[in-house]
Amino acid sequence: MNVLVLKGGPDAEREVSLNSGSRVADALRRAGVTVTEVAIDRATGAQLRDLAGDVIFPVLHGPWGEGGPLQELLMQDGRPFVGCLADAARLCMDKPASKRICEAAGIPTPPSQVIGPTDTLRLKPPLVLKPCDEGSSVHLRVCRNEREVHQGRQELQSHRPTMMAESFIQGRELTLGMLNDRQLPLIEVRAKSGLYDYEAKYTRDDTEYLLDPDLPPGVAESIRAYSQKAWQVLGIRDVARMDFMVDDRGAWFLEANTMPGFTDHSLVPKAALHAGITMESLVKGLAEAAFSRRSMGRDHRHACA
């Protein structure tokens, strides 16, 4: 098995992807797997076809690399690849759309509204302003009053004319990593700044990660049940990270990340290691799960591992 590890991409999370991709490639090599490691920008199908590899491990984050366009190219390429097919990738990257699907399936998610520059905002603060299709808390603002809402809209809508406003849940931040055949231990994230933003995720060293935290009765079970339902209704495969906020009313689903990070700060590798799965076993297992689909024909015909 020769694994083609793709990293980089044109999105705002390029640096995170370069870091994640390098760690995936290094771990695969330590596991004895042959690796072709390539940094790409906005690759074409012809460029992908020229790259060696029996299975593709695309470690990209953001709208192009994680949100459907790259997955379309990979489906056309025909080689098995790690991660969601294009429709599921596109749906999960579209936060408002994925929230609607999950809410219809009975998964609680904070009230939200998609707003353009001239739209009247119906939600009252505190609320969160965020892009509809980004990860890693890029261009995210927590607004606790009307002044901060006005300021946040002015700042962000120069970059993002359309964005999502979401009611802010004051509580504990939980995340659950999922693989095809298992759920990993829960992690509670405690950012010293109070906000688990880009810096807290990737550059600061004072963020706390609590494995298997003590939670009120029934909360962990709810998160696991909601995550399994979201995995199903959103059409996810191979790997994902489900993000939640928990307050005195229970667990609130925020979003599904279909290619979570693999940096030394990233949550899925932390949870996997806590469960006894080394980084080498984690990434080799994902590559092997994709590689096993090769006998089924073109990867785009099969949504399940």
Residues carrying an active site annotation: 13, 136, 202, 241, 243, 255, 257, 261
Cα(92)–Cα(227) distance, integer angstroms: 13
Task: For 257-266, give one letter per residue: b (16+ CB within 10 A) or e.
Answer: bbbbbbbebb
Is 206 buried (19+), middle (13-18) or exposed (0-12) by CB count in 10 A? exposed
Tell me the C-alpha distance between 156 and 63, whole Å.
17
Upstream peptide bond of 126 is cis (omega within 30 degrees of 0) = yes
CA 25 to the chain's CA centroid: 19
User: 208 - beta bridge partners?
Assistant: 190
Question: 229 near 107, Cβ under 8 Å?
Answer: yes
Classify residue 81 by its DSSP letter.
Answer: B
Residue 37 three-state SS: strand
